Chain A
């Protein structure tokens, strides 16, 4: 049973999309990231993606790269991640972790799952792990009751969408563009088409991410997605301070409640 399912059920009953916000643990510092993430929970993020800073974030654009580098330079350690997750959970937030695979591999897949679950984490988003190569993670997530969120892209074939959807639990992460993370001015036209294709294969909730930074964009995505995922814009806001994070969360939370059909 998915731990995140109730979040999407509630959002659906309210006729809106869920707001999913990302921030790397340890950015700008470990305690600073706890404050920012708590602000995101309090201001309306339904799900929190806690990022694990990694030395080689190949799927991330400059904003998140720089944040990860800063976190690592400030001495961030993997054990700090569980502390941050635990802090989100005690603030009443629902936390999943977004991480590249090598740190999990190094920690030990089962140990990582165990410690994440113990910290109150609900699942894992794995941008560079595909289900075909995830046997250990499938077993560990089942053993520790965690959701597993795999990604689909506009380039994914029907066969791969099917495999990815059937392997995921909680929600499916649809990357709206072919590209790396980073705020963009215009929501991709590929997103509605990808979500439409995904829905032919599954009834699992679909979160759409990459490039969202404004309430208006969130409203556009909320017209067809179950969740709106925002990352780089939160990182930028966190650089400005807690007030900016609260303001952005409120704007986006308003956006996911004002679904509009794109012109």
Chain B
């Protein structure tokens, strides 16, 4: 962690220590989650999808139904409120798929904050609609043209902005990574996912799930839902990583499965790196999972054996993406489709008695361009 940013992260940590026990802050956060984001999000059973997962009973936590279309809104509302508390007027953020950028631009519009979003140039092309949404919401979107021009480089550029403008600027980090206190506060603002889901599944299925399944890029939606079940030892916590073209191809983003311990963006965690410690490019069909690091708490959960992580390939994720659309009428984000593909594998190994909770972290509208290309809709004019 650079010394120049220590004062800022210390200030943030101190402010958050006060805010997390301040009823006024917690009430305002809860009010925004309910009246603005639309929480609690639904828990939907997916029986026809479950038939393809060994007949397992599958419930979907519908974070896709939140305002802005993903779980990201939870964290941005919390951090935007913190920004106001610190008396800062400008917010910067990185985004991969654009979900966090859109959510941040939304919270800034709501709370009257200036907003600058850094986005890898490759991702601005993959996610042009989200760029337009951010601009409509009043944010400035800066394409990042350095390095691999994806999420990690957007974070690099946001950190460079932050160090130069730290006095009046909050860096609204979108994932449970980076230096303390970011992993802590991102997790805390997403804990609501797991708290709601635990109550809902107990009400609907009258027992705890055998496994909670979520996709893991940086790991924010996963840590949010995992935390509701972390003290339930019977519940397996399963993180699904982006396997890209497959681990053997070297083109993937499966940091926990195939990475090694290292230091990236102010956190000690698993990272994807070469033998010289150069950070390598992550590859995934999903821009939101394209990160060569991972939140330190996931590294910890892996090391102590509380959570398990495995990859699914682009192809497996896209199959699950289409399957959910056709069987349940729900188009998931490609990120979330990784969790669905993981649930199919898990269900097939556990059988029809299994009860699985899958975090459907976002909706797939933003991914239509990728889907058109992948399934060849533009060529045939009909579904394959």
Binding site for B on A (CB under 8 A): 54-59, 61-62, 65-66, 69, 72, 77-78, 101-107, 127-130, 133, 150-157, 160, 164, 175, 177-180
Contacts and interface: CB of A to CB of B under 8 A. Distances in A.
Interface stretch (B226-234, B272-280, B311-319): B272-280
B2 A103 contact: no
8 contacts: A54-B278, A78-B276, A102-B264, A106-B273, A128-B2, A153-B2, A153-B4, A180-B164
A168 B245 CA distance: 46
Nearest to B7: A155
Interface in B154-187: 156, 159-160, 163-167
Contacts of B165: 178
B146 interface: yes
A55 B164 contact: no
Interface in B1-27: 1-8
A54 B273 CA distance: 11
Nearest to A177: B164
A151 B1 contact: no
A56 B160 contact: no
B265 A58 contact: yes
Contact of B147 (A69, A78, A107, A179): A69
Given A105-B262, A130-B3, A178-B163, A56 B276 contact: no
B89 interface: no
B44 to A, nearest CB: 40
Interface string B268-297: 000101011111100000000000000000
B191 interface: no
A69 B146 CA distance: 9
Nearest to B160: A180
Interface residues of B, number: 34
A28 B36 CA distance: 53
Residue of A56, A72, A77, A101 ringed by the most chain B CB atoms within 10 A: A56
B152 interface: yes
B163 A179 contact: yes
B262 A106 contact: yes
Nearest to A60: B160
B263 interface: yes
Contacts of B260: 106
B2 A155 contact: no
Residue of A55, A133, A151, A178 ringed by the most chain B CB atoms within 10 A: A55
A58 to B, nearest CB: 5
A255 B319 CA distance: 66
A59 to B, nearest CB: 5
A128 B267 CA distance: 11
A101 B263 contact: yes
A130 B6 contact: yes
Nearest to A62: B146
B interface majority secondary structure: mixed
B296 to A, nearest CB: 13
Contacts of B277: 78, 102-107
B162 to A, nearest CB: 9
Given A65-B146, A106-B273, A55 B263 contact: no
Contacts of B5: 155
A155 B8 contact: yes
B160 A102 contact: no
B262 A58 contact: no
Interface string B233-264: 00000000000000000000000000010111
Residue of A58, A102, A153 ringed by the most chain B CB atoms within 10 A: A58
A57 B159 CA distance: 10
A56 B166 CA distance: 20
Given A155-B166, A179-B164, A180-B163, A106 B3 contact: no
Contacts of A129: 1
Contacts of A101: 263
Given A133-B1, A151-B4, 14 more contacts: A56-B279, A58-B159, A58-B265, A61-B160, A62-B146, A65-B147, A107-B277, A128-B263, A156-B3, A160-B6, A178-B4, A178-B164, A178-B166, A179-B164
Contacts of A62: 146
Contacts of B167: 178
Nearest to A181: B160
Contacts of B280: 55
Nearest to A101: B263
B163 A55 contact: no
Contact of A106 (B7, B166, B266, B275): B275
Contacts of B275: 106
B5 to A, nearest CB: 8
Given A56-B152, A58-B156, A69-B147, A106 B276 contact: yes
Contacts of B273: 102, 106
A164 B3 contact: yes
Contacts of B4: 59, 151, 153-156, 175, 178
Question: What 5 A-B pairs have minimum CB-CB distances, sorted nearest first?
Answer: A106-B277, A103-B277, A153-B4, A179-B164, A155-B7
Given A72-B278, A155-B8, A150 B263 contact: no
A51 to B, nearest CB: 14
A156 B271 CA distance: 29
Residue of B3, B7, B160, B167 ringed by the most chain A CB atoms within 10 A: B3
B127 to A, nearest CB: 22
A153 B160 contact: no
B262 A151 contact: no
B2 A151 contact: yes
A172 to B, nearest CB: 11
Contacts of A128: 1-2, 263, 266
Contacts of A107: 276-277
Contact of A102 (B3, B6, B271): B271
A102 B163 contact: no
Nearest to A173: B3
